[in-house]
A and B are shown apart, each in its own frame.
Chain A
């Protein structure tokens, strides 16, 4: 199975600052990579798919990049509602696997 490794585990950021989250796959997943946001007590929400395409209704401050094995999610000017856990997921190969998550917390 494809192992997804996210870093860092926790990112402390001040509101208004930017943040970059990383996700690495144990083998190439091409661009079959999605990012999800999960706020406390809520279901995950799709942010990015195809490594770089924003889902419907997702603000432009969220952007994704990468292909193959290395991916990143960048959040510009963090808003209060952006403090959450972010998961990457590959859907290139079965089983579809998630990273362990990066928690973005208020500094």
Chain B
């Protein structure tokens, strides 16, 4: 069974940093490109970052470019999101999601981890 489990969320002050993790199991993690998607409280879904299976290519939404960094460790079957210079509007639930195949739709999602940016 494919599972994605996020961790690392929490309360952080504006301007602070946080590192999210997503551990995959039940599939060959190193074969799949991965994404981070977030959802502000009571709002819709926003894709924010993508990384290829090898980690050689990454994409970011304009809203996080220059502040967030996506990375992965295939040996640990883990995906990461380093979030710096956090703003109030970065608050929400952060999901990791697997690409069905590269550059396509998301076939599996984690349960999410909550990030709250507040002073």
**A interface, CB within 8 angstroms of B:** 32, 34, 36, 38, 42-46, 49, 55, 87, 89, 91, 94-101
Cα separation A65 to B47 with both chains bound (whole Å): 23
B107–A98 contact, CB under 8 A? no
Central interface residue in B100, B103, B105, B109, by most chain A CB within 10 Å: B105
Interface size on B, residues (CB 8 A): 22
Chain B 92-116 interface mask (CB, 8 Å, partner A; 1/0) = 0001000010011111111110000
Q: How far, in whole Å, are A87 and B39 apart by their CA atoms in the complex?
A: 12
Chain A binding site: helix, strand, loop or mixed by DSSP?
loop
CB <8 Å contact, A49 and B45: no
Nearest-Cβ distance from residue B20 to partner chain A, whole angstroms: 15
Kindly name the residue among A32, A43, A95 whose own CB sees the greatest number of chain B CB atoms within 10 A.
A43
Q: Do B61 and A34 touch across chains, with their CB atoms under 8 A apart?
A: no
Q: CB distance A98 to B105 under 8 Å? A: no
Q: Are A99 and B44 in contact (CB under 8 A)?
A: yes
| Least CB separation from A38: chain B residue | B45
Are B107 and A46 within 8 A (Cβ)?
Answer: yes
Closest chain-B Cβ to A22's Cβ sits at a distance in Å of 16
* Pick from B44, B50, B62, B109: contact of A43, CB under 8 Å: B109
Chain B residues in 8 Å Cβ range of A32: 104-105
Name which residue of chain A comes closest to B95, CB basis: A43
Task: Pick from A43, A91, A100, A101: contact of B104, CB below 8 A.
Answer: A91
What's the nearest-Cβ distance from chain B to residue A5, in Å? 12
B44 touches A87 (CB 8 A): yes
- 8 extra interface residue pairs, beta carbon distance < 8 Å, beyond A42-B111, A46-B108: A43-B110, A46-B106, A49-B105, A91-B103, A94-B59, A95-B61, A96-B35, A98-B47
Compute how far the CA of A98 lies from the CA of B105 in the bound complex, rounded to whole angstroms. 11
